[in-house]
Amino acid sequence: MTDTPTQLFIGGSWVDAADGATMPVDDPATGEIIAQVADAGAKDARLAEDAAVRAQGEWARTAPRARSEILRRAYEIILERTDELAHLMTAEMGKPLAEAKGEVAYAAEFFRWFSEEAVRIDGGGGILPDGRNRMLLSRRPVGPCLLITPWNFPLAMGTRKIGPAIAAGCTMILKPAPQTPLSSLALAAILKEAGLPDGVLNVVTTSRAGEVCEPLLRGGRMRKLSFTGSTDVGRLLLAQSAEAVVRTSMELGGNAPFIVFEDADVDKAVDGAMVAKMRNMGEACTAANRFFVHSSVAEEFGRRLARRMGALVVGPGTRDGVDVGPLIDRVGRAKVEELVADAVERGARVLVGGRTPEGPGCFYPPTVLADVASDSRLMDTEIFGPVAAILTFDDEDEVIRRANDTPWGLVGYVFTEGLDRALRVSERLEVGMVGLNTGLVSNPAAPFGGVKQSGLGREGGRVGIEEFLEYQYLAVPVR
Ligand code: NAP
């Protein structure tokens, strides 16, 4: 977008960083710098905090219907600007335009969903068991929130937090990832246009995450942290949040098992694998990381998956017909290269891909590895790239044990045509979400989130708004 803002958004105004600092944003397909955006420091964070705290009281008192209609207007504007927003996202993040358009629709849907939830916040009440007191339960916003998002879904990770925060009546500071600040700034401009009052949303783009966020978390004025990112950073932020007892929602990393039983429909399993592995070039917390395939179908599955993966077109996301864009940066690509090299060293066979292309951009080809050893590093590391690692199994108990043998528990995928087995295995997987004969679970109307070290709380669904609400209980004597 030619008029995409590049300044900080504080108290409803676009402002430079107090020290005038800026940071570059580059296109991972070319390495070219596409924008310079304001690079906030601690002083800017304090100004954003002041604005969010100042706006909180009046915003909490705003009619739910008014909050709902702002979200609804923003939803409509986002859809009207699908092409512009998709181009912006592809430019700063790399995903192919068709996927970027899909993300715009997904991101917008969080605003529509939470515009509907804003007017359904209910309390409760009744006579207490002793008959002497009534209780009246009311819901209130938790207060000013710090929202921290990753680069892999630059728009949707923002709307998944901003939507329920607006619906609940919370003010907020959004700190997007430094690789993809432009989508968040464009979103702030849309919300302003949709009528969001000044100070309700503040956006601080920064390359100095610790300097900006730690004082906010320790200071005691922000009442909530909603974080999406890696488990290591999540752990650090949980510790920082402990000091002022800040409420937290954490959407962290994954290590999804993808299990194909001997009674699976292999067509469905390969289709599901293509989505679970290749959505967002494999740069998704929901990406299938470990393919456990029954030994009787492993060869056929591997061959067919390799054929499909090998047919994908790799290139700049803006080019027609491209299926797979670049990875986010050279560090991300080097990690994928190292994980593949380690697996091959331990005996994995490369069925397709596995070689980094020459030339500019952070491209890596769709890759399928068979006969992967259980002690390969990619078994306990998020690959975050287009690499499918196949292991075999023979027994249901064994595969469940191996699937659960990880500190993470975000999502699992199960492919079987047997109903009993489908339910039994799904119930025994230690994950927050299961894709049964499907490779896609994300939906704004469903509670997204994980167990174990994949996080705390849920985003989306009926429960998504709960993360931004408190109860107040009022005791009233019965006379
Ligand atoms: P990351 O390195 O953890 O960063 C996430 C965000 O946290 C970025 O905005 C980052 O900014 C910020 N951050 C890092 N250190 C910080 C600190 N000390 N204080 C405050 N903020 C800090 O993760 P990523 O590489 O961007 O994203 C990939 C990870 O996100 C993967 O693990 C993936 O599984 C996870 N993810 C989870 C979900 C989910 O819903 N469960 C969804 C998407 C992604 P800087 O880069 O400037 O440090």
pLDDT tens sequence across 115-172: 999 999 999 999 999 999 999 999 999 999 999 999 999 999 999 999 999 999 999 9
Q: Which atom of ligand 1 is nearest to the CA of 251?
A: 41
Write the pLDDT tens digit of every residue in 217-247. Answer: 999 999 999 999 999 999 999 999 999 999 9
From 39, 93, 95, 148, mutation site for ligand 1 pocket: most ligand atoms within 8 A of C-beta: 148
The protein residue whose alpha carbon is closest to atom 11 in ligand 1 is 177
Main-chain phi, psi angles of 76, to 5 degrees: -70, -40
Does 3 or 232 have the greater pLDDT score?
232
Instruction: Compute, in angstroms, the gap from residue 453 CA to the centroid of ligand 1.
Output: 14
Question: Is 230 close to ligand 1, i.e. is its CB under 6 Å away?
Answer: yes
Instruction: Compute, in angstroms, the gap from residue 167 CA to the centroid of ligand 1.
Output: 24
Domains of the chain: 8-252+454-475 (3.40.605.10), 256-443 (3.40.309.10)
Write the pLDDT tens digit of every residue in 343-388. Answer: 999 999 999 999 999 989 999 999 999 999 999 999 999 999 999 9
From 151, 233, 286, 362, mutation site for ligand 1 pocket: most ligand atoms within 8 A of C-beta: 233
Question: Is 229 close to ligand 1, i.e. is its CB under 6 Å away?
Answer: yes
Q: Is residue 374 classed as helix, strand or coil in its secondary structure?
A: coil
From 155, 228, 381, 454, mutation site for ligand 1 pocket: most ligand atoms within 8 A of C-beta: 228
Name 57's Cβ contacts closer than 8 Å, sequence gap at least 6: none
| pLDDT exceeds 70 at position 18 | yes
Structure confidence at residue 3 (pLDDT): 85
Query: What is 214-278 written as a DSSP string?
Result: HHHHHHSS--EEEEES-HHHHHHHHHHHHHTT-EEEEE----EEEEE-TTS-HHHHHHHHHHHHH
Among residues 99, 285, 362, 382, the one annotated as catalytic is: 285
Among residues 103, 251, 459, 467, the one annotated as catalytic is: 251
Q: What is the enclosing helix (H) or strand (E) of 308?
A: helix 298-310
Structure confidence at residue 479 (pLDDT): 85
The protein residue whose alpha carbon is closest to atom 42 in ligand 1 is 285
Instruction: Compute, in angstroms, the gap from residue 399 CA to the centroid of ligand 1.
Output: 30
User: Distance of alpha carbon 478 from its chain centroid, rounded?
Assistant: 48
Write the pLDDT tens digit of every residue in 253-281. Answer: 999 999 999 999 999 999 999 999 999 99
Q: How far apart are CA 334 and CA 407, in angstroms?
A: 24
Q: What DSSP state is assigned to residue 97?
A: H
How many C-beta atoms surround the C-beta of residue 243 within 10 A? Answer: 12
> Residue 396 catalytic?
no
Q: Which atom of ligand 1 is nearest to the CA of 151?
A: 26
What average pLDDT is seen over the chain?
97
Main-chain phi, psi angles of 444, to 5 degrees: -60, -25
Q: What DSSP state is assigned to residue 448?
A: B
Question: Is 93 close to ligand 1, i.e. is its CB under 6 Å away?
Answer: no
Structure confidence at residue 378 (pLDDT): 97
Instruction: Compute, in angstroms, the gap from residue 176 CA to the centroid of ligand 1.
Output: 9
Write the pLDDT tens digit of every residue in 282-331. Answer: 999 999 999 999 999 999 999 999 999 999 999 999 999 999 999 999 99
Structure confidence at residue 2 (pLDDT): 58
| pLDDT exceeds 60 at position 1 | no
Q: What DSSP state is assigned to residue 356?
A: P
Does 103 or 3 have the greater pLDDT score?
103
Question: Is 455 close to ligand 1, i.e. is its CB under 6 Å away?
Answer: yes
Residues 190-202 have a mean pLDDT of 98
Main-chain phi, psi angles of 237, to 5 degrees: -70, -30
Instruction: Compute, in angstroms, the gap from residue 150 CA to the centroid of ligand 1.
Output: 5
Question: Is 178 close to ligand 1, i.e. is its CB under 6 Å away?
Answer: yes
How many C-beta atoms surround the C-beta of residue 476 within 10 A? Answer: 12
Question: Is 403 close to ligand 1, i.e. is its CB under 6 Å away?
Answer: no
Q: How far apart are CA 283 and CA 393, in angstroms?
A: 26
